[in-house]
Amino acid sequence: MGWDFDSRQPIYVQLVRQLTQRILTGVYEPGSRLPSVRDLAQEAQVNPNTMQRAMAELEQAGLLHTERTSGRFVTDDEALLSDQRQQLAATHIAAFFRQMRALGYEPEEALALAKRQGGE
């Protein structure tokens, strides 16, 4: 999974979002050790300080924790991960309905269209 950046937002915000996505989708499994800040920064082609800032924010949110001599680990708190997944899904769903409203679809029509397209 590559890193994708948009010049309209701060890189660290995008790193937080992309790392969160990787955690919530299981790319980085619960309880697993993350690569070092330096390795992740090199992979993403960003400054290590920027990656450090993003990881610190994820740690503050409870998605990561640091073990002093072992590195950073993904939380194994399934309730937190489930809650975060639901919040992210709600954000995507709200954006979908806003975009569909802008195209002239009522919520019921948008949902029916999504159901027809969902198999693809």
Give the domain ranges of the chain: 11-76, 79-117
Q: How far apart are the first and last CA of the chain?
A: 21
Give the residue from 60, 62, 45, 55 showing the smallest Cα distance to 12: 55
Cα 63 from Cα 30, distance rounded (Å):
9
| Tens digit of each residue's pLDDT, the chain (120 residues) | 688 898 899 999 999 999 999 999 999 999 999 999 999 999 999 999 999 999 999 999 999 999 988 999 999 999 999 999 999 999 999 999 999 999 999 999 999 999 988 755
Q: Does domain 11-76 have CATH number 1.10.10.10?
A: yes
pTM equals 0.82
Q: In terms of DSSP H, where are the helices of 3-106?
A: 11-24, 37-44, 48-60, 78-102
**pLDDT of 71:** 92
**pLDDT of 88:** 93
